[in-house]
Amino acid sequence: MHLRVILCCFLLSLNLLVQAQNKAITVNKPLIDTSVHEKGLLNGRFSTGLESKAAEAKKFKEDSKAFIESLGVKDLGKKIVKTAKKKLQPRDEYAGIKTERKLGNYGSGVRMTVEEVNVVKYVEDEALSPYASEIYIFDPSQSRVVSIPTKDAKNAQICHGPFKKYVNQKLIEEGFYYMGVKDGRWENYGPENELENKVYYEKGYTSGSTISYYDAAKKKIKEVIPRFYGKVRGTYYSFYPSGSLKEDGRLDDSVKVGRWREYHEFGSGGRLKKEWRYGKDKFDTSEPMLIQERDPQSKIIFQAKEPISQHKPLQIPPMDSDDEDSEDEDGSEENGIVRPLPSYVFTYSLFLKIGTEIPFFLSEGFQNNPLTPPDFVV
């Protein structure tokens, strides 16, 4: 019993002695001289040559900062940690205007077409561009998107927001509308979902188009020169200072093609002034033809007499007849003369050597007086 007490006292004394020694070492530990990094190794008695380089770099950094701040630039190179929280646009809103979704469908079988479109929800939000001659609307009677003249858009369901078109459950077209005109990126897809075409619009005009204005505030458009991938291509528009359409037509690499129209600024019964017909493309060098001209009251001043066609009058061999002296209804003799017949629709039957009959149609003019020329054997 006494032996155990003596052993415990000995261990306790030993423990107190060890703690006292550790405390003495900690108190008497010399302080670290932090100036050794500035003085070099061995308190400056040994140098690596890098100390002067570090001092020069520090001085250069300070001088550069002072020079940049003297130019009025502050916080250059600082990483901005604070980021703005992205605000998501509501699904029932596009460009700040409330919309509602419509679903149209037409066709049947493999041509079954479905259109997902959004229209302006509130009538008071409708603010159509005065420079848009036509706009896109959703027609409930046809259950599809159609284009109509802007002047007829009263009480119409104006397209505004995302649009998608499916044929046989495959997406073939998608884009956006802004108050009835195309806006943003529009894409067309093929049967294998491959991208076939992509066009960018800015509120009705192809992106990149050159727009000039009458006023410095850029509110009154003078003309719109279309540009497509750097080339002047597309529909050209010019306007009067009042906003009325002055002229429109298509350009193909800066060359006028197809139909061009000029308009009166004011007029009753329509404002058409002149209608011209140019070549079919930029390589067509044919002279432009004036089709018609009207006064502000829409009265015809000039009308082209010859039929407007890109083709020459059709000529066919004479009809077979037992009587070589027979006459036409107009009194002219046949006698092997080739008669020009430019204003009718004919149906030919071409008989190949294998005996197959192939119907062949030529559309030239009207269908109210069909003729049947003789069969041709190949």
Same domain as 189, residue 105: yes
What's 272's DSSP letter? E
Residues 182 and 118 in one domain: yes
**Residue 365 carries which DSSP code?**
S
296, 353 Cβ separation under 8 angstroms: no
My answer on whether 252 and 198 are in the same domain is no
150 with 135: CB under 8 angstroms?
yes
Question: Is residue 15 in a domain?
Answer: no
- Residue 318 and residue 269 in one domain: no
Do 156 and 181 fall into the same domain?
A: yes
119 within 8 A of 104, measured Cβ to Cβ: no
Residue 67 carries which side chain, given as an amino acid letter? F
- In this structure, the answer to whether residues 108 and 169 fall within a common structural domain is yes
| Containing structural domain, residue 159 | 92-207
The last residue of a domain, from among 263, 284, 305: 305
Rg of the chain (C-alpha set) = 43
Whether residue 37 is contained in a domain is answered as no
Q: Which amino acid makes up residue 47?
A: S
Residue 226 lies in a domain: yes
Q: Is 336 exposed, middle or buried (0-12, 13-18, 19+ CB in 10 A)?
A: exposed
Looking up tokens 């302080």, which residue turns up? 31
Cβ-contact 129, 211 below 8 angstroms: no
> Among the three residues 247, 280, 305, which one is the final residue of a domain in this structure?
305
Q: Where are the alpha helices (DSSP H) in the chain?
A: 2-27, 36-39, 50-70
Using alpha carbons, select from 118, 119, 110 the residue that is nearest to residue 166. Answer: 110
Q: What is the pLDDT of residue 325?
A: 46
Q: What pLDDT sits at residue 278?
A: 96
Query: DSSP state, 126?
Result: -
151 shares its domain with 219: no
262 lies in the same domain as 322: no
Q: Does 260 lie in the same domain as 221? A: yes
DSSP characters over 21-74: HHHHHHHTPPPP-TTHHHH-BTTTTB--SHHHHHHHHHHHHHHHHHHHHHTT--
| Cα atoms found within 13 Å of the Cα of residue 306, Cβ hemisphere only | 9
108 lies in a domain?
A: yes
Contact indicator for 249, 236 with CB cutoff of 8 Å: yes
The gap from C-alpha 229 to its chain's centroid, in whole angstroms, comes to 12
Q: Is 151 exposed, middle or buried (0-12, 13-18, 19+ CB in 10 A)?
A: exposed
Smallest Cα–Cα separation from 115: which of 134, 101, 100?
101
- Which one, of 109, 129, 339, 74, lies nearest residue 239 by Cα? 129
Amino acid 78: pLDDT: 59
Whether 21 is covered by a domain: the verdict is no
The Cα–Cα gap between 162 and 183 comes to 10
Residues belonging to the chain: 378
| 158 and 242, same domain (yes or no) | no
Q: Which of 171, 186, 207 is where one domain is finished?
A: 207
Per-residue tens of pLDDT for the chain, all 378 residues:
667 777 777 777 777 776 766 665 555 555 555 555 555 555 555 555 666 777 888 888 888 778 777 776 666 555 555 555 666 667 789 988 999 999 999 999 999 999 999 999 987 777 888 888 899 999 999 999 999 998 888 889 999 999 999 999 999 999 999 999 999 999 999 989 999 999 999 989 988 899 999 999 988 999 999 998 889 999 999 999 998 899 999 999 999 999 999 999 987 767 899 999 999 999 999 999 999 999 998 899 999 986 555 444 445 455 444 444 444 444 444 444 444 444 334 333 333 334 444 444 434 443 444 444 444 343
pLDDT at 110: 93
The Cα angle at residue 65 between residues 62 and 67, in degrees rounded to 5: 110
Domain contains 361: yes
Flag whether 333 is in a domain.
yes
Same domain, 199 and 214: no
Same domain as 216, residue 199: no
CA gap 288, 277 in Å, rounded: 6
* pTM over 0.75, yes/no: no
- pLDDT number for residue 221: 94
- List the structure tokens of 90: 């509501």
Q: Calculate the alpha carbon distances from 69 to 62, 64, 73, 74 in Å.
A: 11, 9, 5, 6
C-alpha to C-alpha distances, 224 to 184, 358, 360, nearest whole angstrom: 18, 48, 43
Domain count, the chain: 3
Q: Is residue 350 part of a domain?
A: yes
